Structure 1
Amino acid sequence: MIGELALLFGVMIGLLMLGLPIFFAIGAAGAAYAIVYAPKVPLMIIGQRFVNGLDSYDFAAIPFFFLAGEIMNRGGISARLLRFARAAIGHIRGGLSHVNVLASMVFAGVSGSAAADASAIGSVMIPAMKREGYPAAYAASVTAASATIGPMIPPSIPLVIYALFAKQSVGQMFLAGVLPGLGMGLVLLAASIWISRRRNYPSRPWQGWGELARSGVTSALALALPVIVVVGLVSGAATTTEIGAIAAAYAVLVTSLVYRELPLRDLWTALCTAAVDSCRVLIIIAVAGIFSYIIASMGLAYSLAKLASGLSDDPAIVLAVIMLILLLLGTVLEPVTLLVVIVPILVPTAQAVGIDPIQLGTVAVLATLVGLVTPPVGFLIYLTAAQAQVRAGPVIRELTPFVLALIALLVALVFVPGLSLWLPRLFFG
């Protein structure tokens, strides 16, 4: 089995290091395995698995959630959320730094995407922070770190992907992501406040309760989107795909009829962007069907389950080991790839030692999100560094306290299951 794994993952990682697209690397690794071990995996299986990888009605929810986020992003919601964040905590020392984090927290319930969060918030906050004297690298780092909140607070594409691959309820996974998502915001705010006080960053005058109330009212319709998504799923009023379609329709209505800031041209652009982003995710899911079949045929999940059982009888210890593995892999693989390739292996292993798959999901998603702000891949590092017009090296150094804060929360998720499981158990029993 070691030789088979070396071939499968060696080809995939080798092609990724050459700069080839992720879906191609995964598919080519599966094809290479099928050629070398032809009796085990007939080549005709490749095509079948490619189709079967997407053979789930719930995957249709992914384009709808992408579309809802794009429309809300382009329809004036970013400015309203930033105004609300400024009114709430902009007066605390280092106010713009804290506003950056809070804006990402509230924007997370709209976009569900780290890239969208960093692009929308960073395009406004990074220049503003630089004008007020914050170092460019720090402005980029706080933007990158807070953007990781987006894929944890519902609606969340990674939580949908995990739920479907792990055969769990999307509604339960969304509820499980609420407290960890809020926790991410709190630990990042704590780090931001600590840094701002040490460096004596500037603050602004308190704008008053009136401005807070006015900004809250103008943001209320946008902030209602995650509530609609979660309530719809928890109540069983609609399926995951139907909720995604409702979210997209709601976004169109709010931005075009209420805010009136979504021109027809921007709606078309949002449709095209959402289509491209969806295809990038769905083609990875499709080729991951090949990977899942090969791993299942190896019996790898069973072998790892036995190994985990022998490692420790304590589920928390095994989950901590899984966390470390995911953190390590996250430095070279992006979240969607990690989830679709590793989840089919992890879930049977975790269940064999008594780990709740819902808790595993929140730990797995947060661990992969940390990879977005850790080198050498760290997509958000380079995105925000480009926005701030600074080299990646200083951004990575400034990110250190924020990454440590996220890892501390991750450890808490491992050893305090209630952080993930309290809300799902409250509503689903």
Structure 2
Amino acid sequence: MSAAHNLEVHGTPFEHGAQHERTVERWLRRVVELLAAAAVVAEVVILFVGIVARAVFHQPLIWSDELASTLFLWLAMLGSALAVQRSCHMRLTFFVSRLSPRGQAWAETLAVGASAAFLAMVLHPALDYVQDQAFAQTPALGWSGSVRALAIPVGCAAGLMSCALRLARHDWRDIAGVISLIALIAFGCYLAAAPLTQMGQGALLVFFVGFLGAAVVAGVPIAFAFSLATSAYLLSTTSTPLSVVVGRMDEGMSTLILLAVPMFVLLGQLVHVTGVARVMVAFLAALVGHVRGGMSYVLLGAMLLVSGISGSKTADMAAVAPVLFPEMRKRGMADGELVSLLAASGAMSETIPPSLVLIAIASVTGISIAALFTAGILPAIVLSLVLGVVAWWRAGQDESAPESSPKPVRAPWSQVGRTFVIALPALLLPVLIRSAVVEGIATATEVSTIGIAYSLAIGLLIYRGGLTWKAMMPMLLQTAALSGAILFIVGAACAMGWALTQSGFSHDLAETMTKVPGGAIGFLLVSIVAFIVLGSVLEGIPAIVLFGPLLFPVAHQLGINEVHYAMVVVLAMGLGVFAPPFGLCYYAACIIGEISPEAGLKRIWVYLGMLFLGLIAIAFVPWISTGFL
């Protein structure tokens, strides 16, 4: 009895401490969520009001871009903190997932601890950066630059507190091990500073191959792996203050073109919730669902249509797969075939506007986003035809299909007409988005708000799907978290790219690539292989943001059209992103389809192989990319 009593007495403070931590974490999350959601809504309203004032009343608001830019940095940093709270930051989990449960727990602690280490390291330089920006003033609003820059230390502080509260739930032995490892690495960098400096560009291999590679393989979020490698390199081999890293991250995240990212992420969720994607799929199924491989054609067509709205591959697959997979299973398609086709269609549609990767390319290379959007349609159609041929050949080849599978029946023309009339408002959405940009009503950054307003209107007045006030908050939070994760990667990659440029690596890389045998053709082939590998390891946007500024000038020097080169590298990167065993989006397709990853490992290579041949054809026929420019 006494022992039990002692346990109860001594356990009480720990229970109170844990309860206090949960309370603090709950309130911190609530504050960040409310601020992030408010920032998303404010951006939508500001951009839409700006369009109406300019296009309808012919009285442009001179302050709207400044306010949108200021709020955008706050949205990016609050979203990145929210992504920390929700574990939404992109990371490579292929190797970690193969560890024992004990090893996986340690790797999770390392991921959180490494993120906390960077946020703690950069917090004071971020405050210095705010003071530096205080001397700047916005022309229209007259606000100090510190109002905008303050978002960086606030976001870092919120992320750091979130990491600390998450670490408190981990095993103390794992925490001690991670702290010891980080301290050992920091001490090693301090002791080796002089030899590393003398190595010159050889130090790049230590930090951006060894250190960065080890961090990514260990499951550290990619954005924080970039940031830690860059900071460690600058602190060990240069006298550059970390406030420069903060400034470069700010510059990378603040490109106004990137404001399209959260807007299109929100639009993609609205398309799913309001039923817009569902009625599109229903029309396509009624039209061609009865022919050989018909439902596969429906999936390909639906991915093309939805990709032109949401801009996010995960949102595209989430909108299409739950609607189509049950019927496709009824018709005898095996799970491995389903996930293979879904993943291949995601890689196929990477260039369909408004692709987030195209937006990222425009932001880091200066290529016209309107030109990229125009060029991206035909390559995706070519690859969809390639996949259509594969789907036709694979139809009926599945030995696991049950003999009792129902034969597809042609839908009556009355049903086709009825589904078309129902889907017509939804089918007009991609046309509306494209026309608004072409006619000059809205920029590519603003046009998503027109799509949001239109989706809300048809969702509430026509389709009356699951759109309720209660459903809006989760969509806003998901938009903020996913956007914050993407934008933080862009900022980290820009800082890393700046460090590589200052080291002279960019110049040396350009010289090496210009000497690739075969001239422009050899460069294209090497780029295809490189971006397939980069896409599988770093995911799409980090690979593009990091290496785009380095390779696009080389392409231009070799006489390759930059828009054509953009199509080639984006599609190559898409192959890597969806290729097992490393491709992150392949596993996203498996999760969305509720299918084991092993089911598609043998079947997907036929689809990816044909996509690769289609990509080679696009690379050798530039007109496919530039014919409509």
| Alignment TM-score, normalising by the size of structure 1 | 0.92
2:394 to 195, 201, 209: 195
Q: Deviations over 1:30-72 (max 9, x none)?
A: 1111112124x43331122121222322221211111111111
2:552 equivalent in structure 1: 347
The answer for the alignment partner of 1:156 in structure 2 is 355
Query: 1:318 is matched with which residue?
Result: 523
C-alpha displacement at 1:142, in angstroms?
A: 1.4
State how far apart, in whole Å, the 1-side matches of 2:203 and 2:238 are: 15
CA distance in 2, matches of 1:389, 1:57: 37
Number of the residue aligned with 2:448? 244
How far 1:388 sits from its partner (Å)? 4.8
Q: Is the 8 A contact 2:497 2:546 kept in 1?
A: yes
Larger Rg: 2
CA distance in 2, matches of 1:60, 1:160: 9
Cα pair 1:59 1:241 within 8 Å, conserved: yes
- Aligned-partner Cα distance in 2 for 1:295–1:264: 47
Q: Does the 8 Å CA contact 2:264/2:309 hold for their aligned counterparts?
A: no
Between 5-14 and 180-189, the greater mean CA deviation after superposition: 5-14
Cα distance 1:46–1:128, how it changes in 2: closer, same or farther (>3 A)?
same
Q: Distance in 1 between matches of 2:532 and 2:352?
A: 20
1:37 match: 237
Q: What's the counterpart of residue 184 of structure 1?
A: 383
Deviates more, 1:298-307 or 1:115-124: 298-307
**CA RMSD of superposed structures (Å):** 2.0
- Quote the residue 1:370 is aligned against: 575
Which amino acid in structure 2 is aligned with residue 342 of structure 1? F
Tell me the distance in 2 between the aligned counterparts of 1:373 and 1:46: 32
1:7 aligns with 2:211: no
Partner secondary structure for residue 311 of structure 1? coil
Task: Give the one of 66, 71, 77 matched to 2:265.
Answer: 66
Higher alpha-carbon deviation: 59-68 or 204-213: 204-213
Check whether the contact 2:563–2:626 (CA below 8 A) recurs between aligned residues. yes
Structure 2 residue 321 is the aligned partner of structure 1 residue 122: yes
Please state how far the C-alpha of 1:294 moved relative to its aligned partner.
0.9
| Larger CA deviation: 376-385 vs 172-181 | 376-385
- The yes-or-no answer on 1:415 pairing with 2:610 is no
Q: Secondary structure at the match of 1:240?
A: coil
Question: Is the 8 Å Cα contact of residues 290 and 408 (structure 2) preserved in structure 1?
Answer: yes
SS in 1 for 2:395: helix
Q: Which moved more, 1:117-126 or 1:406-415?
A: 117-126
Please give the alpha-carbon distance, in whole angstroms, between the structure 2 residues aligned to 1:182 and 1:209: 26
- Which one is further off, 367-376 or 93-102? 93-102
Alpha-carbon spacing, 1:298–1:231, altered in 2? closer, same or farther (3 Å): farther
Deviation at 1:127, TM superposition (A): 2.8
The structure-2 alpha-carbon separation of the partners of 1:224 and 1:5, relative to structure 1 and needing over 3 Å to count, comes to farther
Q: Of residues 218, 242, 248 in structure 2, which corresponds to 1:18?
A: 218
CA contact (8 A) 1:112 1:150 kept: no
Which moved further from structure 2: 202-211 or 169-178? Answer: 202-211
- Cα distance in 2 between the residues matched to 1:267 and 1:209: 37
Is 2:508 aligned against 1:303?
Answer: yes
1:228/1:358 CA distance change after superposition, 3 Å? same
Residue identity in the other structure for 2:625: S
Q: What is the alpha-carbon distance in structure 1 between the residues aligned to residue 246 and residue 593 of structure 2? A: 44
SS at match of 2:538: coil
How far has the Cα of 1:25 moved from its partner?
0.7
**Greater Cα offset, 334-343 or 118-127:** 118-127
Counterpart of 2:435 in structure 1: which amino acid? V
In structure 1, distance between residues paired with 2:397 and 2:575: 25
Q: Is the 8 A contact 2:283 2:423 kept in 1?
A: yes
User: Any idea what SS the aligned residue of 2:564 has?
Assistant: helix
Q: How many Å separate the matches in 2 of 1:324 and 1:274?
A: 32
TM-aligned CA distance change 1:413 to 1:301, over 3 Å: farther
1:228 to 432, 438, 462: 432
Residue 335 (structure 1) aligned with residue 540 (structure 2): yes
For residue 402 of structure 1, report the CA deviation from its aligned partner. 0.9
Distance change >3 Å, CA 46–CA 95, structure 1 → 2: same
Distance 2:518 2:510 in 1: 12
Residue identity opposite 2:516 in structure 1:
L
1:56 to 234, 250, 255: 255
Give secondary structure in 2 for the equivalent of 1:423.
coil
Q: Structure 1 residues 252 and 374, CA, compared in 2 at 3 Å: closer, same or farther?
A: same
Deviation at 1:224, TM superposition (A): 2.5
Distance in 1 separating the partners of 2:520 and 2:584: 32
Superposed displacement of residue 79, structure 1: 1.6
Amino acid paired to 1:282: L
| Structure 2 counterpart of 1:94 | 293
**Range with bigger deviation, 145-154 or 320-329:** 145-154
Greater mean deviation of Cα atoms: 363-372 or 375-384: 375-384
State yes or no: 1:260 paired with 2:464.
yes
Give the stretch that moved more between structures: 20-29 or 234-243. 234-243
The equivalent position to 2:227 in structure 1, one of 27, 31, 49, is: 27
Identify if the C-alpha distance between structure 1 residues 410 and 280 changes in structure 2 by more than 3 Å, giving closer, same or farther.
same
Which structure has more RCO (C-alpha within 8 Å, separation ≥ 6)? Answer: 1
Q: Structure 1 residue 23: deviation in Å?
A: 1.1
**Structure 1 residue 5, shift from structure 2 partner:** 4.0
Change (3 A) 1:2 1:348: farther
- Superposed CA offset, 1:118-157 (max 9, x none): 2222223223322332212112221222233444211211
Structure 2 distance, partners of 1:54, 1:214, is 46
Q: Is the 8 A contact 1:52 1:286 kept in 2?
A: yes
Gap runs ≥5 in structure 2? 1-200
- How far is 1:108 from its partner? 1.6
What SS does the corresponding residue of 1:332 show, helix, strand or coil?
A: helix
1:380 aligned residue? 585
Give the equivalent residue in structure 2 for 1:211. 415
Change in Cα spacing, 1:295 to 1:229, as seen in structure 2 (3 Å) is farther
Which of 263, 279, 304 does residue 105 from structure 1 map onto?
304
For residues 248 and 29 of structure 1, do their structure 2 counterparts lie closer, same or farther at Cα, with a shift above 3 Å needed? same
Deviations 1:224-275 (A, max 9, x none): 2332333333333322322122222222222122322222222332222212
CA–CA separation in structure 2 for the residues paired with 1:53 and 1:390: 37
